[in-house]
């Protein structure tokens, strides 16, 4: 275990021990960046970030979905100084909402906090223009922790870029010990990233990981799961005991490719991952039910006609004959590809996304904006994934 360099200071309430935030205090990341303010966790390595095609991908990659601080301590009070980059959308009737920091003690919820201040990134939805307003760091504070030795995790906001400035406790800390659990690396779209989830541990991959007794590396990138080769290479090079890929919705709603390009892109993505993980259980998950895109191609467009933000597909269903992609087409193609490859790859598996969220789920828990589930929808997807993937006869059976 690493030896940490610490600094003690005294206040009217506590004798604070300041511990530098270093990579060995983090879980769920692939890289870190040292900034002028502190440490910025990343979910793709530096060489991959240099290949990102646009600012939107760069923003969601830097949002630490699934990333958490993990340490062992007797401290009863913990403070984390952080510089968040919050987001707002000009032209939409929704204010900026502070991200949630969740603290777990020995795996159980023990507190929530938010950080005021920080930067504000405002996007004009009509023009795409971005304005960045600077602001100061703030503090997430947790008190009343039990005084015995314990494992502490602070899950960072899944939807808010977070630079870690300082970590203070009223007792020494050391990096968390290895858990001994299997490492599950998952890649997907904004649903996997956590859109509309209420907190970082309530995104469906985090809920499913907890049910399956595994450690999560979440490579869910909002709007950006389009079979990019650099994502496959990053997954190839990262450690993992279990791998899953949720493929389809972003390819349709960005209108990123046609059927002719889709199948070779899937094969290439799988080939690259298999270069580094030749026999790791690998689960390919097709899209969950999304009525607006089931038989209508993209691109996707925002729709404010109802007074709230919803989305609609703008493609022409008649163009499916020319290779335009829909979720129905993608599900059939993924099932075919996996079935053919599985003849030579017994650790490759397929899961129809509608078994995670299908027609009956949509009737009970409709998608509020027609694309993303609400918090109850995240729980439903997690329950179904854990039941199917981590079952005794499932692809991720322990």
The predicted-structure confidence for 308-337, as pLDDT tens digits, reads as follows 888 999 999 999 999 999 999 999 999 999
Q: Check: CB of residue 183 under 8 Å from CB of residue 239.
A: yes
Task: Based on DSSP, count helices (H) and strands (E) in the chain, helices before strands.
Answer: 10, 22
Q: Which pLDDT score is estimated for 7?
A: 54
Cα separation values, 322 from 89, 274, 325, Å: 35, 31, 9
74 cis-preceded (ω within 30 degrees of 0)? no
Tokens standing for residue 110: 């023990």
Dump the DSSP string for 320-378: GGGT---HHHHHHHHHHHHHHHHTT-TTEEEE-GGGTS-HHHHHHS--TTSSS--HHHH
Over the stretch 200-232, which tens digit does the pLDDT of each residue have?
999 999 999 999 999 999 999 999 999 999 999
Tokens standing for residue 278: 């030749």
**What number is the average pLDDT over the span 362-382?**
97
Q: For residue 234, give the H/E element and its range.
A: helix 229-237
Say how far apart CA 186 and CA 46 lie, in whole Å: 19
When pLDDT is cut at 50, 70 and 90, the band that residue 94 belongs to is low
pLDDT averaged over the chain? 94
Q: Which pLDDT score is estimated for 117?
A: 87
Report helix, strand and coil shares of the chain as percent, to nearest 5: 30, 30, 45
* Domains of the chain with CATH codes: 15-175 (2.60.120.260), 183-389 (3.40.50.1110)
Q: Give residue for tokens 């925002």.
A: 302
Q: Which pLDDT score is estimated for 88?
A: 83
Over the stretch 289-299, which tens digit does the pLDDT of each residue have?
999 999 999 99
């Amino acid at each position: 275990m690493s030896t940490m360099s610490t600094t003690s200071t005294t206040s009217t309430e506590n004798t604070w021990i300041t511990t530098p935030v270093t990579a060995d205090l983090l879980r769920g990341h692939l890289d870190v960046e040292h900034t002028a303010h502190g440490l910025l966790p990343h979910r793709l390595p530096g060489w991959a970030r240099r290949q990102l095609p646009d600012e939107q991908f760069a923003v969601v990659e830097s949002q630490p979905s699934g990333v958490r601080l993990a340490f062992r301590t007797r401290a009863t009070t913990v403070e984390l100084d952080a510089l968040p980059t919050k987001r707002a959308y000009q032209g939409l009737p929704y204010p900026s909402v502070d991200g949630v920091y969740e603290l777990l003690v020995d795996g159980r919820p023990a507190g929530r906090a938010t950080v005021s201040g920080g930067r504000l990134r405002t996007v004009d939805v009509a023009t795409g223009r971005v304005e960045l307003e600077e602001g100061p760091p703030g503090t997430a504070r947790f008190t009343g922790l039990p005084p015995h030795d314990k494992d502490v995790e602070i899950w960072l906001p899944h939807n808010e870029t977070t630079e870690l400035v300082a970590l203070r406790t009223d007792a020494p800390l050391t990096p968390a010990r290895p858990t001994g659990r299997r490492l599950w690396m998952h890649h997907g779209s904004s649903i996997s990233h956590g859109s509309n989830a209420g907190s970082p541990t309530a995104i469906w991959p985090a809920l499913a990981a907890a049910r399956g007794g595994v450690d999560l590396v979440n490579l869910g990138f909002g709007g950006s799961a389009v079979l990019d080769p650099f994502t496959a290479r990053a997954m190839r090079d990262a450690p993992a005991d279990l791998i899953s890929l949720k493929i389809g919705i972003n390819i349709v709603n960005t209108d990123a490719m046609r059927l002719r390009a889709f199948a070779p892109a899937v094969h290439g993505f799988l080939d690259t991952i298999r270069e580094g993980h030749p026999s790791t259980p690998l689960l390919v998950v097709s899209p969950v039910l999304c009525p607006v895109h089931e038989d209508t191609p993209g691109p996707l467009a925002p729709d404010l006609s109802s007074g709230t933000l919803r989305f609609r597909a703008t493609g022409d269903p008649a163009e499916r004959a020319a290779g335009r992609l829909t979720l129905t087409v993608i599900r059939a193609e993924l099932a075919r590809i996996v079935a053919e490859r599985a003849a030579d790859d017994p650790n490759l598996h397929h899961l129809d996304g509608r078994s995670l969220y299908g027609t009956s789920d949509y009737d009970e828990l409709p998608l509020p904006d027609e694309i993303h589930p609400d918090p109850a929808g995240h729980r439903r997807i997690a329950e179904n994934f854990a039941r199917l993937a981590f079952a005794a006869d499932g692809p991720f059976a322990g």
